[in-house]
Amino acid sequence: MSIDQATIDAHGFSPEEYQRLLEILGREPTITELGIFSVMWSEHCSYKSSRLHLRRFPTDGPRVVQGPGENAGAVDIGDGITAVFKIESHNHPSFIEPYQGAATGVGGIIRDIFTMGARPIALLNSLRFGEIDNPATRRLVDGVVAGIAGYGNSIGIPTVGGEIAFEPAYAGNPLVNVFCLGVAKADALAMGVASGAGNPVYYVGAKTGRDGIHGATMASAEFDEHSADKRPAVQVGDPFMEKLLLEACLEVMRTDALVGIQDMGAAGLTCSTSEMGARGDAGIEIDVALVPQRETGMTPYEIMLSESQERMLLVAQRGREAEVEQVFEKWDLHAVRIGEVTGDGLLRIRDQGQVVAEIPNRPLADRAPLYDRPTTRPAYLDDANHLDLATLPPPADPRRIWLDLLGTPAVASKRWVYRQYDHMVRTNTVVLPGMGAGVVRVKGTERALVFSLDGNGRHCFLDPAEGGRLAVAEAARNVACAGAVPIGATNCLNFGNPERSEIMWQFSQAVDGIAEACRALDVPITGGNVSLYNETDGQAIYPTPVLGVVGVLDDVTHVLTRVFPEPDLEIVLLGEPAGGLGGSEYLKQAHSLVRGTPAPVDLDRERALQALLVDAARGRWIRSAHDGSDGGLAVTLAECCVESGAVGAQVDLPGSVEMDERFGVVQALFGEAPSRVVVSVAAGQRERLLSGARERSIPAVVIGRTGGDRIRLAVAGEQVADIGLDEAEQVWGQGLTRHFEAVASKEA
């Protein structure tokens, strides 16, 4: 049957791309072949707009066991153990169907980890929504959070933290990024490769249905008013099935009967067969009539493109079939031989013996389109980067500003979210959500793994390169604040339509910033995800790279959290006392402005600061550590005081600005700057800490003492704000719920 132009266009091919397809095949494609090329050459699967730029990331290092190119990255944490981790996006599906979109995002990233032979031990998420006061936002938040909780809680993997932000830029396109961490023996890592002609190919897990067909293609296009009609492209998850699949796969990997294994994620059976074959420079032949199906009348096209969840493809050693089948039978799962590895390098698809697709594996992958798209600095920056404080109304009472910031969605406690997650299952969790970076024990050792997700779309909107540097620095700093050495990173790069030169400029700049910071801080990128076309009706999200950094803590008893643990401890500020207001939370909340430029990070000083924090934790010089972020020092200090027993503080910040300057106190209290950490000092250890800071050329000053039932702030000896602990806890602790209740009352 001849393929008409309308069908070619519906599959997203440009004339040049379709001509390349014809050259590879040497003939017209079948409809199944057209579908296979369509999903494999989609932006979501081929990274055709981003691959050139991603090559600039540092990916090697002494601890890197597996870098980009496999299902997840892996780093050595000692004693022959690796930490396996990755972050993925499920943005478009979560907008269309929030619960299943988020739930299957969790399921997919978990499969990426155990496909590597690692047992998943922790989850984090990074979420972005529109303004919190919008009823549509509340419905999205409810669905996404419930989906994350429903899947993670059911499968028994703790969600131990993350981040959540609310900005108008995400109203039409929320971001749902999910990170998973696992552990595995270095010599037991599994790879997604097919090799050995005659080796059997097995389909394992759930049956195939029509859900998720063209999911990868949907994720490679921007939204419009018809996006709600794409619900059939959203997969449906079953965490209980995934739990069985996880245990069965890990068990079969403990044998030597396995050659390779691959998750059926984006593009489903198409992606797993073609990628495994390409990696092994082999062919794969399957018969789709043998694929377990939960719907009748499915065509080869539908079977190959379905993104039904909880499915894996594996290649076993010939002659070991019975061993593999018995493992899956034990876990009450389908393990069906659907084909074999061949030596001809072809992806051959049969339907009841009849060939319906025959494509060279390597060219399908290696000759995928690769675009060097034009870049143009956005014109909006000429205005947005200009900040003249003199044009702004005088600042309000500092105490009022402080309370307002503590109650904003960006700053307020996220316990409404965390309490829906089971964060203690498996009993490895060391630090509760919201108390700092995620920390989980590595059972059988004295070690812990420490990890953090960070990103700031506002910063990247104003300066993408600096925003990229800041995201890496903050994620690594959060890990160091817990006392751990950062050793590896993953990223999820969320941007708008790459066919617009301004978007590609943002992307390229952000990649440069991330790459520079990763090199300076010695945290190689081991893998990640690119999510483009995040825009609706031409309105793009803020450029939002999210960085996940993993570190290792050799002695879990040395772990630190953000809170002051007891009264009568000295408080030391590491880093510059004053911060800038460009791109700050203060500017957004007090003046409804996203303007200026974020304060730049000095990467040499940042690295020195992180080394000092690790030494201070090992030496037990400090009792807590919390980095400054949204809201400046005043917010940082309040977060050190609330929750976990609540200890007050009396603080006097050095007068780095003239007190009669209109925004002097505002900059001192609410200005934001990188490479700045508030620590509480153990008795008798102040001089060791200050000496260590001087050796590394890190500014350090004693700014106060813990104790009492209030948080008192002074600048240059003059008291400027005073809040009771009970009031601070109420404003900060109920910030999210107060906004949600306000929305509900408006709708009633």
Active site amino acids: 44, 90
CB-CB contact of 376 with 502 (8 Å): yes
At residue 311, what is the residue type?
A: R
Q: 725-733 and 735-747 helices cross at what angle (nearest 10)?
A: 50
Query: Could you tell me what percentage of the chain is helix, strand and coil, using 3-state DSSP and rounding each to the nearest 5?
Result: 40, 25, 35
Beta bridge partners of 66: 74
Residues 6+ apart with CB under 8 A from 379: 502
User: Apex CA 472: angle with CA 471 and CA 477, to 5°?
Assistant: 100
CB-CB contact of 300 with 31 (8 Å): no
Where on the phi/psi map is residue 537: left (φ > 0), alpha (ψ -120 to 50), or beta? Answer: left
Q: Among all chains, which residue has been given the structure tokens 């397809």? A: 21
CB-CB contact of 259 with 194 (8 Å): yes
CB-CB contact of 135 with 183 (8 Å): no
- Nearest 5°: phi and psi at 568? 65, 35
User: Based on the number of CB atoms within 10 Å of its own CB, is 480 exposed (0-12), middle (13-18) or buried (19 or more)?
Assistant: buried
- Written as six digits, the tokens of 440 are 């989980």
- Written as six digits, the tokens of 66 are 């597996």
- Written as six digits, the tokens of 457 are 């779309």
Q: Cα dist. 159→210, 482, 563 in Å?
A: 30, 18, 21
Query: How many angstroms from the chain centroid is the CA of residue 66?
Result: 18
Give the chain's end-to-end CA distance (angstroms, integer): 57
Query: How many angstroms from the chain centroid is the CA of residue 574?
Result: 28
